[in-house]
Structure 1
Amino acid sequence: MEPVGWVVLGVLVVVAVTELAPRVHVSAPLLLVLVGVAVSFLPAVPAISVDPRWVLGIVLPPLLYSAAVAMPTMDFRRDLTTISELSVGLVLLSTAVVGVALTRLVPGIGLATGLAVGAVVSPTDAVATTIVRRARVSPRLVTVLEGESMLNDATALVLLRSAIAATAATVTLWSVTGRFLWAVVSAVGIGWLVGRVNLSVRARINHPTVNVAISLVVPFVAYLPTEHLGGSGLVAAVTAGLVTGHDAPKRLRAEDRLNEQAVWRTLELLIESAVFLVMGLQLFGLVRDVRGGHGSLVRALVVGVLAGTLVLVVRSLFVVPSLWLQRRRVQRGVQVRDRLSEAEGALAARRAAARTQPRPPGMDTEQLAQVQAARRTRLTRVRRLISDIDYLAAESFGWREGVLLVWAGMRGAVTVAAVQSLPASTPSRSTLVLIGFVVAGGTLLLQGGTLPWLVRVLGLSRDPHAELASERMALHVELVAAVRARLDKPDLRRPDGSPYPEDMLDRARQREAATVADPDLPEDEAREASELTRAQFRDLRLEILQARRARLLRLRDEGAYSSQSLDQALRVLDAEQIGVEMRGGSAG
């Protein structure tokens, strides 16, 4: 069959399995792995081997970038300490323990080779966390697991490269530390720059298709130069995604962002599914290589199971003190909350008093605006600290969350790809590659397959719509207040400088007040068309939506509401704005 035929067949399999999975109550990624394994042993199917550079350099950058764009940066920032502990400390510990164990279990390999394989099986997989997202657990748990899987690749790949280098030359602890620091610092710097340039360029482009096309190359623009300079291209892609996701609502049009989301969701489905399918398809080739190299399949299977068990035990032992430290940080935060509240009150009172006072002599309008912006920034920072303390205290992890945090640490495509990057001269290479596959496939199938059951047993399944109903109503009231304040401003004008008719403003105020009782109140378009010009109505609706958006983004900066409520409100605003713009365009 031609390569195009295989691609078409693969897409059809992905679609069929994705549609079938909910009906049989099995996660689609697990079914795809099993389908791949079964197909790989069919006589008509040749042994399949995938160049690890394709996975690490072509597949993962866009997937990590897309996940970072979708991740609320507010939640990521709040748990950055825990994420850093897991993505650095846990990987280092797992690499050391598994590496030493493998030197005892696999004859003929040295410590450097054992550490290389230990580094390979240590990081959790970003693609595998899709199973966690679908389990309807706490959003904070999902954030920690996704954040860990995004960043731990940098630690693991630096350790892998250092261990491979150590098989041929002497490598010092200082050189490894220096490589790691450079890998992270250079990646964050380049990723931040790429994210900012991405937004700056796309904000100037009005063609939706071109705008989305640019987004498709952003992860590679971040990845390639970072890797060339010896940094972590994957962390650079993640950083670019976080910067883009945070500032896109301010810089990009609603239409462009919704188009981008639709395209990227489709790509995510196809690429993620292909990763799991190809992962299973490689098993026959790995088994054949072990047999061809006169290795023992039984030994590889047993050692793989032991290595998988070992990383799970190490993760358990690491998570326990990590949760204890997390609770200590929450307790310290609660102790200083009262002082922060006093500071917030003082800053708010000072800012309110300054608004009523005349402009100081010798200060021009620009200087006054800078002073007011500085006061607003200080107040926002204090409110953000208070919100962080309240969030971490309300969403504190207990033993049940700790159990799930341990069990959800699955390995996947990164492990399978990275272990195949071992040099061809590595002793018992085929056995080590199969061990890596057993760890990845075993944790994915066992832990991923039982994860929904474990969530139910622990009672961690949540209904976000029911939990956030009251919060979303409170958020809506705040947005209505921002709109009414904007409508009451005497300088409110249309884009051409002409004032709005007073009866239009009165009706807009009445409608905003009515939405407090009924947020889904429909617009009376027929009445608007008969009494007011469409152009005036369109301009006023866009002004109202802009006031809501500005207030929403300020509340996001303060962290006053959950990211789920803020994201849902932003989606509603985007949909309304696109509708108004389309009606205005058709009317014109």
Structure 2
Amino acid sequence: MDILNLVFLLTLTVGASRILANIIPLPLPILQILLGSLLALPPFGMEIELDPEIFMMLFIPPLLFYDGWKIPKKEFTEHGGQIAAMSLLLVLITVAAVGYFIHWLIPSIPLAASFALAAILSPTDALSVIAIAQGRLPRHMSHQLEGEAMMNDATGLVSFKIAMAAVITGSFSLVSVSGEFLVVALGGLLIGGALSWTVGKIKQWMTARDLYDPATYVVTILLLPFAAFFLAEHAGMSGILSAVAAGMVQSRVDMLPVKTSTRILNRSIWEMLDFSFNGLVFLLLGLQFPGIVERVWEASATQSYDMGTLVVYALVIMALLLMIRFAFIYAYHWSETRLLKRRAKGGQSQPLLLTTALSSVAGVRGAITLAGILSVPLFIDGTPFPGRDLMIFLSAAVIILSLLIGALGIPYFLRYLSLNDLDEHERELLKARQSASQAAVSWLEEWLKAQSNEDIESKGSVTARIIDSYRQEMQAMAMEREDRANEAVQRYVLETNLRMQAIQVQRKELYRLRKRRHIDEQMLQTLIRELDYEEAALQ
């Protein structure tokens, strides 16, 4: 099929899947896999086999970059202990336990390849969980899942690449792998962070000299994750962690008080790309799934398993993943609660078994797992990669099972969970909005006092209207687009300018609140977004 027609059809299908998800009661990723499988069948008959290296380079960097960009930094710091434990220790336990289990269960998959499969099954997908929960997860759990998903995406993929290297080279040493992991991880973080910081400094330099162009900058940011990934890989470091670090640093640069048009353009493009790339990954799996099933079916004739046995294997692997996750989370929270009680700082506010069960079923696998497993090479030195189709089949089955478990389990456990922290979050947002509006009102009053007496009468009515709109928390009054006298036009221009300057004051107040830690990073982003759209409407 012509490449342009293929891109057009896939993009159209991704958009249509979002609409269908509002009608068909299925998780969006499962629906996209089904649509992809449908396109692979007659009469469409679409066939596509991307080069694994191209697939890795095309999908992994932007997805991980955006993960790093949107992670709430305050919660990432506050829950750093749990996030680190879940994304490092839990991943390593999963790789070791599940890897050995898969090799024991299916000896035709080599041990190193079994470790690679276990590693790529380790990352969780916070985007799918949030979509399933529809914003009803407790805030602290939602943030922990986002932080865990971002970090174990990186650690899982790094472990996957090391295991894949062991398959290709035929050598494996736990000691050397551990040392290599630390070196390539640290190197990747430094390269990605340094590159992103340099881009931010260049932006500041250009802004100071009126050389700054929002469109050019946004194009640069679109290329940044690929550049970070390529440079780190070329240097022998982790391109995966490099992309994550670039996103985390760039999110700080994006919050700097620069042109509003840049933030709006940047944010809109990345939200669109994140949705599109996630959808394309699931569609591409669906397109290849019928062929994979057919090849696995044919291979099963010469093996000791059939298709029904493979489905049972997938169920057993999923059960093992759930048990390991449940045991780890329970042990972590139990230890944390005991430690806090000893320090007289309070303990678990929610029932331990309930929160552990909810966190366990929320360990949904998604786009990163798919992108990683589809990047498995087709051949090693001219011979087919051992068990590639089988690995992809098991990964797809585990992803689908985890989505179904999440779709059923998350709403069930949420019914028994107290969600008081959501109300508290809304109160904090309201308090921050009031503080920003009050800062704007105070500035307008001071500005009016500084005007000369002859200007007070003409400018006072305009200022009073703006102050009244802020105090009543109403939207700015629209100005009719009719020919008016010069005085009315001047008042309109004055009102617009004052509103623009008042918005700048609100932004400064929000930055001050964040600096003093009265609000968190996510609240700052939400409130800055509201002000950006308000300013864009005025422009």
Shorter-normalised TM range: 0.7 to 0.9
Counterparts of 1:43-192 in structure 2 under 5 Å? 45=45, 48-125=48-125, 128-129=128-129, 131-132=131-132, 134-167=134-167, 168=169, 170-192=171-193
Bigger mean CA deviation after superposition, 39-48 or 269-278: 39-48
The equivalent residue for 2:399 is: 440
Q: Deviations over 1:391-418 (max 9, x none)?
A: x989878543322211111223433443
Secondary structure in structure 1 of the residue aligned to 2:23: helix
Secondary structure in structure 2 of the residue aligned to 1:50: coil
- Alpha-carbon distance, 1:78 to partner: 2.1
The equivalent residue for 1:345 is: none
The equivalent residue for 2:217 is: 211
The equivalent residue for 2:326 is: 316
- Aligned pair in 2 of structure 1 residues 48, 334: CA closer, same or farther (>3 Å)? farther
The equivalent residue for 1:283 is: 289
CA distance in 1, matches of 2:467, 2:396: 60
Whether the 8 Å CA contact 1:182–1:230 is kept in 2: the answer is no
- What amino acid is aligned across from residue 266 of structure 2 in structure 1? E
The equivalent residue for 1:245 is: 251
CA distance in 2, matches of 1:123, 1:180: 17
- Alpha-carbon distance, 1:30 to partner: 1.9
- Aligned pair in 2 of structure 1 residues 184, 537: CA closer, same or farther (>3 Å)? same
Counterparts of 1:310-389 in structure 2 under 5 Å? 310-327=320-337, 335=345
Choose from 484, 500, 504 the match for 1:546: 504
- The answer to whether the aligner puts 1:569 opposite 2:491 as a matched pair is no
- What amino acid is aligned across from residue 574 of structure 1 in structure 2? D
- Aligned pair in 2 of structure 1 residues 429, 483: CA closer, same or farther (>3 Å)? closer
Choose from 498, 519, 525 the match for 2:473: 519
- Alpha-carbon distance, 1:549 to partner: 0.8
Whether the 8 Å CA contact 2:462–2:491 is kept in 1: the answer is no
Q: Deviations over 1:267-320 (max 9, x none)?
A: 222222111111222212212332444344334332222112111111111111
Bigger mean CA deviation after superposition, 22-31 or 522-531: 522-531
Bigger mean CA deviation after superposition, 429-438 or 504-513: 504-513
- Aligned pair in 2 of structure 1 residues 468, 131: CA closer, same or farther (>3 Å)? closer
Whether the 8 Å CA contact 2:466–2:476 is kept in 1: the answer is no
- The answer to whether the aligner puts 1:409 opposite 2:363 as a matched pair is yes
Q: TM-score, normalised by structure 1?
A: 0.77
Secondary structure in structure 2 of the residue aligned to 1:136: coil
Identity %: 26
Secondary structure in structure 2 of the residue aligned to 1:23: coil
Bigger mean CA deviation after superposition, 503-512 or 103-112: 503-512
Q: Deviations over 1:338-360 (max 9, x none)?
A: xxxxxxxxxxxxxxxxxxxxxxx
- What amino acid is aligned across from residue 275 of structure 1 in structure 2? V
- Aligned pair in 2 of structure 1 residues 94, 461: CA closer, same or farther (>3 Å)? same
Q: Tell me, which stretches of 5 or more residues in structure 2 are unaligned?
A: none
- Alpha-carbon distance, 1:87 to partner: 1.0
Whether the 8 Å CA contact 1:37–1:282 is kept in 2: the answer is yes
- Alpha-carbon distance, 1:36 to partner: 2.2
- Aligned pair in 2 of structure 1 residues 194, 3: CA closer, same or farther (>3 Å)? same
- Alpha-carbon distance, 1:126 to partner: 5.6
Whether the 8 Å CA contact 1:137–1:460 is kept in 2: the answer is no
- The answer to whether the aligner puts 1:483 opposite 2:440 as a matched pair is yes
RMSD (Å), alpha carbons:
3.7
The equivalent residue for 2:263 is: 257
- Aligned pair in 2 of structure 1 residues 511, 330: CA closer, same or farther (>3 Å)? farther
- What amino acid is aligned across from residue 405 of structure 1 in structure 2? S
Choose from 474, 494, 498 the match for 2:431: 474
CA distance in 2, matches of 1:504, 1:393: 60
- What amino acid is aligned across from residue 369 of structure 2 in structure 1? T
- Alpha-carbon distance, 1:490 to partner: 9.1
Bigger mean CA deviation after superposition, 187-196 or 78-87: 187-196
CA distance in 2, matches of 1:521, 1:43: 52
Q: Deviations over 1:88-143 (max 9, x none)?
A: 11110011111111222113455333322222222224664453463532233222
- The answer to whether the aligner puts 1:22 opposite 2:22 as a matched pair is yes
- The answer to whether the aligner puts 1:430 opposite 2:389 as a matched pair is yes
- What amino acid is aligned across from residue 198 of structure 1 in structure 2? V
Bigger mean CA deviation after superposition, 17-26 or 513-522: 513-522
- Aligned pair in 2 of structure 1 residues 42, 128: CA closer, same or farther (>3 Å)? farther
Secondary structure in structure 1 of the residue aligned to 2:415: helix
Whether the 8 Å CA contact 2:60–2:371 is kept in 1: the answer is no
Q: Deviations over 1:557-577 (max 9, x none)?
A: 333235554333222321232
Q: How many residues align?
A: 520
CA distance in 2, matches of 1:135, 1:34: 25
Whether the 8 Å CA contact 1:123–1:149 is kept in 2: the answer is yes
- What amino acid is aligned across from residue 308 of structure 1 in structure 2? M
- What amino acid is aligned across from residue 139 of structure 1 in structure 2? R
- What amino acid is aligned across from residue 314 of structure 1 in structure 2? I
- Aligned pair in 2 of structure 1 residues 417, 473: CA closer, same or farther (>3 Å)? closer
CA distance in 2, matches of 1:490, 1:44: 66
Q: Tell me, which stretches of 5 or more residues in structure 1 are unaligned?
A: 336-391, 583-588
